[in-house]
Structure 1
């Protein structure tokens, strides 16, 4: 049985995925201090938010996520 041909979109996705998996050089341009701050970002933000505010953000995100379907 013959395999179905890939659509143009599938070809682009495959190409981008393979290109990115060989080691992207995006982060090489960034300063080491900026990289470190970026790693801490989400954890630091969560630590500074009150539990009520985190719950509010999570609820809003869930509503957005489920409203798309």
Structure 2
């Protein structure tokens, strides 16, 4: 799993940082920065950040999925 952000949608609300401060940082004037693309043991926090993002700018991608 890895975190992905759509910077065209991100408005810097920082909900992700509140939900998963070890994974996201949002400067006072700017957009989200992913600190660790692989959430590892913080997967539940990553899922909460994705779920509660007000602009739906975040997603989790499963790289192990076979197409």
TM-score tier by shorter-chain length is under 0.3
Whichever structure has more strand as a proportion of its residues is 2
The one of the two structures with greater contact order (alpha-carbon pairs below 8 A, sep at least 6) is: 2
Whichever structure has more helix as a proportion of its residues is 1
Higher Rg of the two aligned structures: 1
> Which TM-score applies when normalising by structure 2?
0.22
> Which TM-score applies when normalising by structure 1?
0.21
